[in-house]
Homo-oligomer: A and B are copies of this chain.
């Protein structure tokens, strides 16, 4: 056996340069050399199972994390025992950015299904970004993007009706699945109705009723976690908040 050219399957899989997510992820836009250097500080652990915490509120912050497979819910435990769901994260997405401020996780992250992640020790990432302007720039961009996404969410929670919120939620998943090479119109949601409601500032019952209504209106077909979007353009109209979508076909 010639050892030089033989690489095990595992070795191929775990490098950024071989990762199908690299165009969505931290290495986005970096040169191959830079990707290699970034890769050298990344740790890949065993996968998490459904319900496992990646980190909890109060945990010491050491690493940012990128989901590589599966999905994750982040949430902020609030004083009175409840929680606010902050986001649902798919492969390629970076979590933990809010913990940089004081080296402490103020939020928690939990696996919604079997989930693998890359861990990026932040101190090392910071050092690396000092000597790699493109990485520094990428970090600024990712942090900025997170802020932009949060402000979109503020608009959603501050101004949108229940149906606009759910339509927006579904289209967000549609777009993100599409980006990742999956169907934009046929997918499984890994979170419960309760979690969707919490995230969108709605009661479970409202979410359930809306799914039923959207199905009655032929916007989608839904069966438990399996969603098939049947009229994406009209979902976009609903998100716009214009009542054009309503008036053209109101109720059922």
Contact = CB atoms under 8 A, between A and B. Distances in A.
A154 B149 CA distance: 11
Contact of A100 (B101, B133, B141): B141
A178 to B, nearest CB: 20
A198 to B, nearest CB: 8
Sorting the interface of chain A by its residue count into under 10, 10 to 19, 20 to 34 or 35 or more gives 35 or more
A194 to B, nearest CB: 14
**Copies of chain A in the complex:** 2
Interface stretch (A23-31, A155-163, A226-234): A155-163
A153 B187 CA distance: 30
Given A80-B242, A126-B140, 6 more contacts: A78-B241, A84-B154, A98-B147, A136-B136, A157-B157, A158-B199
11 contacts: A76-B155, A79-B241, A98-B144, A98-B151, A99-B144, A101-B144, A101-B145, A130-B133, A143-B143, A153-B154, A157-B158
Interface of A: 76, 78-80, 82, 84, 86, 97-101, 106-107, 126-127, 129-131, 133, 136-137, 139-141, 143-148, 150-155, 157-159, 198-201, 240-242
